[in-house]
Amino acid sequence: MIKTFLLAAGIGASLSACSLEPVQPWDRDILAQQKMQLVADPLETYLDEHIYFSKEASSGGQGVGGGGCGCN
């Protein structure tokens, strides 16, 4: 089930990469903005993850590393 999902996602991603108009190096001004980064505010994300890690049974997904605490 997971493998199928990943396969489908992979095919989807590569198809979209082919059919989409490429974004040229000189057209990447918007994508270079801080607010367009996947993690636009690393400290805010760190603090959120710390809170929810100690209040919920799920954590992670966005990346690995960062360390544990005795709060869970």
Partner 1 sequence: MQLKKSHNTPRNIRRQLAAATCGLLAGAGHAGGLVASGNNWKIDSALLIYAEKDRVALVEPVLSLSKEIDDDEFINVRIVADVLTGASPNGAVPADTPQTFTTPSGKSTYTEAANTTPLDDTFKDSRGALNVEWDTPLGNNLRGTFGGNFSNEHDYLSTGFSANFAQDINQRHTTLALGLSFNNDTVSPEGGVPVGLTVMPVYPGVKATDGSKQDKTVKEVLFGVTQIIDRSSLMQLNYSRGQSDGYLTDPYKILSVLEDDGTGNLRGTTPYVYESRPDQRNYQILFWKGVHQLPNENVLNLSYRYFWDDWGIQSHTVDLRYRFDFAGGHYLQPHLRYYQQAQADFYRQTLIDGEETTLAYASADYRLGEFTTQTIGVKYGYQFHNGAELNLRVEMIEQNGKDRSADAIGKLQNQQLFPDNEAYLLQAGVSLDSDMIINYVLGLFK
Partner 2 sequence: MSTRLPLLLVLLLCGFTSPTFGAEPAPDFTLPTFPDDAGISLHDLKGRVVYLDFWATWCPPCRKSFPWMDEMHARYKDEGLTIIAVSVDKKRELIEEFINQRQPAFTVAHDPSGEIAKAYRLRGMPSSYLIDRNGLLVKTHLGFRDKDKATMEAAIQALLKK
By the rule CB under 8 A, 26 interacts with partner 2: yes
Identity of residue 18 = C
- Give Dmax over CA atoms of the chain in angstroms: 48
Find the shortest distance in angstroms from Cβ 28 to partner 2: 7
Find the shortest distance in angstroms from Cβ 41 to partner 2: 18
Contact call for residues 38 and 61 (beta carbons, < 8 A): no
Q: How far is it, in rounded angstroms, from Cα 15 to Cα 59?
A: 31
Find the shortest distance in angstroms from Cβ 23 to partner 2: 11
Residue selected from 27, 41, 44, 48 as contacting partner 2 according to rule CB under 8 A: 27
